[in-house]
Structure 1
Amino acid sequence: MHASLRPGSRHLPPGLVIIYEDRDIIVVNKPAGMLTMATETEKTRTAYYALTDYVRKGNAKSRYRIFIVHRLDRETSGIVLFAKTEVAKRTLQDQWEDTTKIYAAVVHGQMGKASGMLSSHLVESGVHKVYATRDAALGKLARTAWTVLKERGGYSLLDVTLLTGRKHQIRVQMADAGHPIAGDKKYGVKGDTFSRLALHARSITFAHPFSGRSMTLDAPVPSVFAQLVGRVEAEGAEEKMRL
């Protein structure tokens, strides 16, 4: 499988980078601040809209389409996987529980141990905010594994693996554990002035929907995270693919 030369890339907005593309899928590195898909108030400034325009090469009458497999919060940067056919979408979603999703997060405080597991039940309130509860009857089980990569001052850089996929899961569980993510305006520390949410979807491993071949795609940790914890990656800034 080879990525195309992407002749329609001129139609992509700044910051949205295609990591991999073939006839079945497109995988992108989404910038913080961009929606994955439309909302009632924002229809066009989304990754979905931009990629639809990209596959149509700017021709609104083109029959080419993009299908949403999953999403990231607007404030979260990193890898988002889209399908180019409905069959590919269904296949990817059917195997989603077997897909490995790893994030980089900078949280407030030091964790006190090298790694751990967060397990709680999450409930969404009527104001689109999520909170954690120990009452299994109220919410959906959420499990998150974390490992400390680096600590500096009052911050820790974590490698975070989603074991379930709940709304705002990492943000809520880290805040509930007393280590909110830096720059989180919804669940974070009052007065936190960091320029963005320090959460980034850095790696995804999945079976290709057509060939079944295992693929791992990586996106570099944003350089702005270094303002909190120093240099976070020694491999440079290029997106990577491992087959």
Structure 2
Amino acid sequence: MASRLSGIRLRRAVLSALVVASVAVPVSGAARPAEVPAPVPATSGTVPVASAQALSERYDATRAVLVAAERTATAHGDGKRAAALREFRAPGRQVLTFDGRDGGRLFEVFGDLSTADRIAVMVPGAGVSVDNYWRLRSGSTSLQRASGDRAVVVAWLGYQTPTTVSLAAVTSGRAEEAASGLTSFLRDLGASKPAARTTLVCHSYGSADCARAASGAQGADIVRQ
């Protein structure tokens, strides 16, 4: 019964307007930010054992990756990207994985993954990137606060999202590209936290990613926005 109530509570939080408003982006047709070079990350994208020590070590290692990427962006003359990366390594941020290449990939944890019994993975739709990641972060923090102390939200920016007005946004190519990475992430998460209940929260184009990934990863609920 407690598990069912927790699931209901999470689902209600997911459906809140805060999440929809913060993950969605205006249909503006703006061009994607220019891609900038970035070093090969020293950490892999796998999820470590969900102990407090292992997670702390991973977050510290990812901060070092962010420092190197910020320096590269600064040398390239992209002050906007450098400023975004500086925010990612602010005190208290828990960035599990960062890879600045090919537009950037980022997984950030909100809450204590070592003690969580419920995990929501936020998968964004079109128009979300490293440079305007605050949209995804805002939705993730709102959902985590509404879900309770034992819940964790992972912001999963694991693919190069299409621009809001583009051919890529109405075709499945980017979704197929993302699905493999999302499936791997869910499997790693399941191995790290086998007793935790996982829910995919998928916005707009991200729903296509989730549909493909869910067929390869067992045990994940899907909520589409």
Tell me the TM-score normalised to structure 2 length: 0.30
Q: Which has the higher helix share?
A: 2
TM-score by length of 1: 0.28
- Pick the structure with greater CA Rg: 1
